[in-house]
Structure 1
Amino acid sequence: MKKVLLIGGLAIAGLTMTSYTFAQGETNITVADGVKITLPKGFTTNIVAENLGKPRHLSINNDGSMYVKLARPVDGKGVLYLKESNGKYKVVNGFGNYGGTGIFIKNGYLYASSNQEVFRYKLNNKNEVIDTQSPETIVTGLKMGRQHETKSIVIDNNDNIYVNVGAYSNSCQEQDRKTGSKGIPGCPLLDSAGGIWQFKTTKLNQTYGQGVRYATGLRNVVGLDWNHITNSLFVMQHGRDQLNTLFPELYDAKANAELPAECLYELKKGDNAGWPFAYYDPFQKKNIQAPEYGGDGKKPASTAFINPTVAFPAHLAPNGLLFYTGNQFPAKYKNGAFIAFHGSWNRTPEKQEGFYVAFVPFKDGKPAGEWEIFANGFAGSDNITSASQAVYRPCGLAQGPDGSIYVTDDKKGTIFKISYNGK
């Protein structure tokens, strides 16, 4: 399968992911269970926490302590507070009887999301939550279905919090994931899902009516980050599934494995990324009208839909996005984007792909070169036919105060630290 990069509307076919080599050389580091993590030369990694349950996103304080959000509570605790001792992080506190994904530290508060609400907790001068039992509710009543239910969050520099509300549907069919079922006209669920909503961090108990539907046409966003160079929101969308199984007369199994692209978008208020009416085809280099809405695999979609900033191969499940602002890594990484790919389940007959951390170099707020696989080997094998075979599955990303980055794994409950030592 080819690696495809979209920059400025131009798609470039690259090396296959299985034969990719690092331009600067590479190093292999055994972490546990015989798993070797491959990194560019000069980088190192180690496991700093284990057996945490299913850690999703994490946020790190300026003293190096961290808060971790669990997909499901463990012993009634969905938020963990960890502190470092002798190179390892230990849980010193846990609270919040709700699962989810989103967590973020800003201006003396810890923000955390359940699948329907966003809370905030006041921190003391030691970065500890003052009252773990009585958080303030910032947003309530968010739509939750049986899929794409978690709420990822990020905060800008103007007291705005951005919340993903994933679509509780694959492609807004009259009968979800049923062969040949047509799309619901207008896709009414877009009024409360399938996009990014903006709320104020300074107001309590906000609902949809008090927020702003900041961007729409996004099936599901898990990884998102605020870019301080462009002063704008970037998100990674999970693309739709099952083109071949739902419309076998239009798509073969190979197309099903390679379409649509997983897309990095820069979002402005009012943007529409096209779901469910369109998907991005990296080979045709354009948005294509979805088959549920009269598409045939070639018909261009409306020009009202935005194009991605970068298009990645299909079905890799991008769950973490981080713009690197530290000084520890070499200059090429400054202000570039790291993406944690959780790994695919639906690329058959191709093997499953992902299970790595990728990097896109940026300059002046724009991509400045081909994306590359930065940290690979988490799956423990190059021949994964089912996601369940992966040893580790990258999910969340965060930057530490020393410029290292941290990667969560929600398969075994692990946190990895990646640092640069120049050796």
Structure 2
Amino acid sequence: MFAFKTAVAALAAVCLQRAFAQSPIASASCSSTLVPRGAAPSVAPGYVARLVANNLTSPRGIKFDTNGALLVIEQNSGIVALNLADSGSDCISVSSRRTVINDTTLNHGIEISNNGSTLYASSAEAVYSWPYSAQTQSNTSAPTILVQNMTTSDHTTRTLKLSQKVPGLLLVTRGSTSNIDIDAEDITTGHSQIKAFNLANRTRPYNFDTDGLLLGWGLRNDVGIDEEPLSGGIYTVENSADDITRSGVDIHQNNPAEELNFLGYLNGTRSANQGRNFGYPECFTAWNVSAIPNFMGQVGQQFAIGDLNSTVNDTTCSAANVQPPRLAFQAHMAPLDILFNTAGTAAWVTFHGSWDRQPPVGYKLSVVEFANGQPTQPSNSTTAAVDIVSNANITNCPTGCFRPVGLAWDSQGRLFMSSDATGEIYVVLRANGNATSSAGSNATGTIPSASITSTSSSASATTSHSVASRAGGASMGALAVVLGALAVML
């Protein structure tokens, strides 16, 4: 009996040692006076979300400058620089704020050159650049107009992305002018298109309608865009249409799907996708196949809307005629950003959520696993996006919850996320202390299984104690069992 008790006690000691060893950021306190405007987010096992900044004016696009300040587009206000203080154990706070640009027309897109000396931002009408000093956090001259003639009455965001594979090329997204924009059928209008503009040989402002390299058209409102770091493939996430019908049946609750689109490459690699018509406004992607009358396709395939006839039907929407998405997402989740990690093993996507579905969906940050320049899931998958940070009670949305928009990596591989509805910035961390950017494989457990239920994280607002419960949860659970057995035996 004594030998057994001794063995149990030794095992308890080992479990206790492992519990603390596996929680490198858990033991340090990370208290904060910041309180989320809504409930603290729910976070998947192995992750933690912390509130870093609040009281911003509808923060949208975010980007780090070369000195580590977080540049934030405040919609219809301008650009502000947040200087961050890191007190250890990933306890991050804002030490100071500085207004960089006052311009009430700026609304979403932001970029910065690799050397940090040029800042880019967009309004509904134009793309601008400024000489920028990361030391003084200021622009040093009036703006230069790079691209213009983009004003529309509905989807007004113009996301910006500088290519890393082809320096000097700036990608610009432009959405539709209404829910179903008939003008988007005409390639010459520039509606619902994504183009690349060569900044190296610019002699005048580009006209979006007539200038630039066309990467894709028939793209209703592709707000998020990024360049896959290994192959250089251009991927976008698309907000699809609201309130659609087919053959007189309202199918809008679960159709059409939101999309992950592949637009080819900028580095000379040939792709049939580049410059192709992606279907809008005639063709849309299926999510709930059973809800679409007389549809013989599957998830991820496209279908026609309205009253079908000899000229408007699913044949016109086949892959032979228009380009289908690479992946489909649940209807009305409203993806607004996509950001790859440097290894090309994961694409992070913000789902802003939509007003056009009850109960609501989206309002979360998810991750899609990639390998060899492609998503690992097939195009008809319904589980490719795995939730990492979400709202605990989605029935409070959209007025009572955070709404993710922009994403940015800092120099340590920590993921920052803006929430426009609540005026907040969060940082998303790995609970074991590794960089968030190292996530990227279901096989290694860095991307949780889609079947795992997220758990609420009190660390989102005030403390890191819940990090300890997640990081060392397995070991502490084993410890509890051992100590229970020990108590019975003693």
TM-fit CA distance, 1:311? 0.5
- Do the aligned partners of 1:234 and 1:264 also contact (CA within 8 Å) in 2? yes
Q: How far apart in 1 are the matches of 2:136 and 2:307?
A: 49
Q: How does 1:277-356 map onto structure 2 within 5 Å?
A: 277-282=282-287, 283=289, 284-285=297-298, 286-291=301-306, 294=309, 301-302=317-318, 303-325=320-342, 335-348=345-358, 351-356=359-364
Q: Deviations over 1:25-58 (max 9, x none)?
A: xx9x996356232223232221111111011111
TM-fit CA distance, 1:123? 2.9
Q: Deviations over 1:370-414 (max 9, x none)?
A: 424333333x51324xx4433211111111111110110001210
Q: How far apart in 1 are the matches of 2:136 and 2:162?
A: 18
1:168 to 177, 192, 204: 177
TM-score (normalizing by structure 2): 0.68
Q: Please tell me the root mean square deviation across aligned C-alpha atoms, in Å.
A: 2.6
Aligned residue for 1:134? 142
Q: How far apart in 1 are the matches of 2:143 and 2:37?
A: 39
Aligned residue for 1:251? 249
Tell me which amino acid in the other structure corresponds to 1:32.
P
Distance 1:33 1:277, change over 3 A: closer
Q: How does 1:20-99 map onto structure 2 within 5 Å?
A: 32-33=36-37, 35-73=39-77, 78-86=78-86, 87-89=92-94, 90-97=96-103, 98-99=105-106
Q: How far apart in 1 are the matches of 2:161 and 2:52?
A: 25
Q: Deviations over 1:317-375 (max 9, x none)?
A: 1011111127xxxxxxx531111000121113xx0110001111001111124424333
1:117 to 112, 116, 126: 126
1:412 to 422, 429, 441: 422
Aligned residue for 1:396? 406
Query: Which runs of 5 or more structure 2 residues have no equivalent in the other structure?
Result: 1-25, 87-91, 265-273, 290-296, 378-382, 433-470, 472-490
Identity in percent: 23
| SS of equivalent to 1:239 | coil
Distance 1:125 1:38, change over 3 A: closer
Tell me which amino acid in the other structure corresponds to 1:311.
A
- Do the aligned partners of 2:56 and 2:424 also contact (CA within 8 Å) in 1? yes
> Comparing 154-163 with 93-102, which one deviates more in the overlay?
93-102
Q: Which of the two has greater strand per residue?
A: 1
Larger Rg: 2
Q: Which of the two has greater helix per residue?
A: 2
TM-fit CA distance, 1:61? 2.5
Q: Deviations over 1:64-115 (max 9, x none)?
A: 2111112211xxxx11111113522232223141221100112332111111
How many residues of Structure 1 are paired with residues of Structure 2 in the alignment? 362
Q: How does 1:220-299 map onto structure 2 within 5 Å?
A: 220-244=221-245, 249-252=247-250, 255-268=251-264, 269-282=274-287, 283=289, 284-285=297-298, 286-291=301-306, 294=309
TM-fit CA distance, 1:140? 1.8
Q: How far apart in 2 are the matches of 1:287 and 1:172?
A: 18
Are positions 1:381 and 2:389 aligned together?
Answer: no
- Do the aligned partners of 1:49 and 1:88 also contact (CA within 8 Å) in 2? yes
Q: How far apart in 2 are the matches of 1:292 and 1:323?
A: 40
TM-fit CA distance, 1:304? 2.2
| SS of equivalent to 2:83 | strand
- Do the aligned partners of 1:110 and 1:129 also contact (CA within 8 Å) in 2? no
Aligned residue for 2:446? none
Aligned residue for 2:270? none
- Do the aligned partners of 1:190 and 1:217 also contact (CA within 8 Å) in 2? no
Aligned residue for 1:365? 373
Q: How does 1:187-226 map onto structure 2 within 5 Å?
A: 187-188=185-186, 191-202=189-200, 203=202, 204-208=204-208, 209-226=210-227
